[in-house]
Structure 1
Amino acid sequence: MFSIGLEVFNSEGMSNTVGKSTSKEVITKEEWEKKLNSVKIRKEDMNKLVMNFLVTEGYVEAAERFCLESGTEPEIDLATITDRMAVRRAVQSGNVQDAIEKVNDLNPEILDTNPQLFFHLQQQRLIELIRSGKLQEALEFAQEELAPRGEENLYLQHAFLEELERTVALLAFEDASNCPLSELLDISQRLKTASEVNAAILTSQSREKDPKLPSLLKMLIWAQNQLDEKACYPHISDISSATLEETNI
């Protein structure tokens, strides 16, 4: 699945255009599009790639609709995604304790065997207390719940304490939203924690924790970087639109 769309970059496909000279060959947009069009990709494979993304990321309704429209069956029962998404939504909305309880309902071993994940969830609880202005409660929570976590796990102790210090430092600012560490209060921090929980649940269910599509796009960028050493050709700079740019000489 990872090789889909990259066939156009293989050495055989480029041998007549790139050549073996030390100088870079120039490939026009018309020539490059002809190469791209010669690569045959099955629609079924592309549909599976889309379904894999929807299922892994938890877009249940979109997956159901895509199943009906494309006839692509998901690899798992879509009903099993609901509980995982409930956990993710709880973290994203700042209800971290609710998320922890939901994770334990799903599988208590997820947090028992993953101290880093549990620490990050507790860290997110601390951030939410600071966000809501409960500073005294936040300080007590950091001392009673988070600090001991760093002492319990010697392997992760340094990382835990460093993250704890950064988070507690928010208490030193009258307006935490405008301090140098304000990114911890940004919605992106919630999304980061939610993604970490989502990946842990998938791993516990013996599922891939990351969708294939982002990895495929990374391989596309890598392939373009490799070709840059050999030829001037139309790049895809905007991944979202997949628009070919004119060849830069």
Structure 2
Amino acid sequence: MSFENNSNGNEKEERKYSHERNKSDELQLSRTDMNMLIMNYLVTEGFKEAALKFQQEAGLQEPALCSSLDERIMIREAVQGGRIPEAIAMVNSLHPELLDNDRYLYFHLQQLQLLELIRAGRAEEALAFASATLAEAGANDANALTELERSLALLAFPDPHTSPFADLLLPSHGQKIASELNAAILKMENQEYTNPKLCSLLRMILWSQSELDKHNIKYPKMTDLANATIGQPK
């Protein structure tokens, strides 16, 4: 009898899961909508050539390219290439008031310049630059001070790349600041979207799953965002 009850319970769980998957399938984006999300990401982040090529391959209408797209591409390349003074000069030429109004963003760019000196092993120049350029920001902003301390802590290690703060030297850190700067430029130009819709959707997924987990609710969980892998409720 207990076996039958267990069997019936498993069948109910399977039917419930099947129903949930069917509902999930009904909410799936169409290929056109997904292509538009990808296009929005490429245009917003400033990948012009990729956007135009994707437009041709996906059969979409020509993307609406922002007037500053070429400038944003050059600025992103300068930031990710470690050419921070060049990037700052281009930003000041494009929007002179941007970095004056957003001092935390300006601090992040100067922090990248400090990290480039540390990466090159120019410790004395790094300390002098931090003292002359970044100390004031650290004194006025607790978050900036913490980030400055983490950056300077790299100098305490013979090989900064093996330190607990080595994440600051990874390409992903420069990419993060480049995206932050890109969004700030789009905001200055009153663009509707300053961050890709795809990124907003992924953040919403993570937040929703976190809330469901807090309440111990079973649901088809996305276990791998990169591959969109959805696991069976446990």
Shorter chain as normaliser: what TM range? 0.7 to 0.9
Asked if structure 2 preserves the Cα contact closer than 8 Å seen for 1:236 and 1:245, the reply is yes
Checking the alignment, whether the CA contact within 8 Å between 2:138 and 2:145 is kept in structure 1 is yes
Q: Is the 8 A contact 1:26 1:231 kept in 2?
A: no
Alignment of 1:139-218 (within 5 A): 139-151=127-139, 154=140, 156=141, 158-207=142-191, 208-218=193-203
- CA offsets 1:44-76 (integer angstroms, 9 cap, x no match): 4333322211111222122112323332443x3
SS at 1:236 equivalent: strand
Q: In 2 relative to 1, CA 172–235 (structure 1 residues): closer, same or farther, beyond 3 Å?
A: closer
Partner Cα distance (2:126, 2:182) in 1? 26
Question: In structure 2, what is the Cα distance between the partners aligned to 1:107 and 1:49?
Answer: 28
Aligned length: 219
* Alpha-carbon distance, 1:81 to partner: 1.5
**What is the match of residue 219 of structure 1?**
204
Q: Over residues 74-102 of structure 1, what are the superposed CA-to-partner deviations in whole Å (9 max), with x where a residue is unaligned?
A: 3x325631211211111111111111111
Gapped regions of structure 1 (runs ≥ 5): 1-24
Counterpart Cα distance in 1 of 2:212 and 2:125: 56
1:194 to 1:72, Cα distance in 2 relative to 1, 3 A:
same
Which residue of the partner structure matches residue 13 of structure 2?
A: 26
CA contact 2:52–2:62 (8 Å) conserved in 1 = no
Matches within 5 A, 1:1-249: 26-28=13-15, 30-39=18-27, 41-68=29-56, 69-74=58-63, 76-77=64-65, 80-151=68-139, 154=140, 156=141, 158-207=142-191, 208-224=193-209, 229=215, 232-248=218-234
Question: What SS is found at the alignment partner of 1:237?
Answer: strand
- TM-score scaled to structure 2, two decimals? 0.79
- Secondary structure of the 2:231 match is coil
Q: Which amino acid aligns with 1:62?
A: A
How much has 1:227 moved relative to structure 2? 5.6
CA-to-aligned-CA distance 1:228-248 (integer Å, 9 cap, x gap): 658645433223333443443
| Structure showing the higher helix proportion among its residues | 2
Residue 247 and residue 62 in structure 1: after superposition, are their counterparts in 2 closer, same or farther (change >3 A)? same
Instruction: Summarize deviations over 1:24-48 as a string: whole Å, max 9, x none.
Output: x735454344333444755543333
- Normalised by the length of structure 1, the TM-score is 0.75
The alignment yields a C-alpha RMSD, in angstroms, of 2.7
Q: Report how far residue 199 of structure 1 moved.
A: 1.7
Which segments of structure 1 move beyond 6 Å, counting only runs of 4 or more?
none
* d(CA) in 1 for partners of 2:93, 2:46: 18
Distance (Å, rounded) in 1 between the aligned partners of 2:117 and 2:86: 14
Cα distance in 1, alignment partners of residues 210 and 51 from structure 2: 33
CA distance, structure 1, for counterparts of residue 157 and residue 217 of structure 2: 53
Q: Which amino acid aligns with 2:226?
A: S
Percent identity between the two aligned chains: 42
Distance, in Å, in 2 between the alignment partners of 1:149 and 1:108 is 20
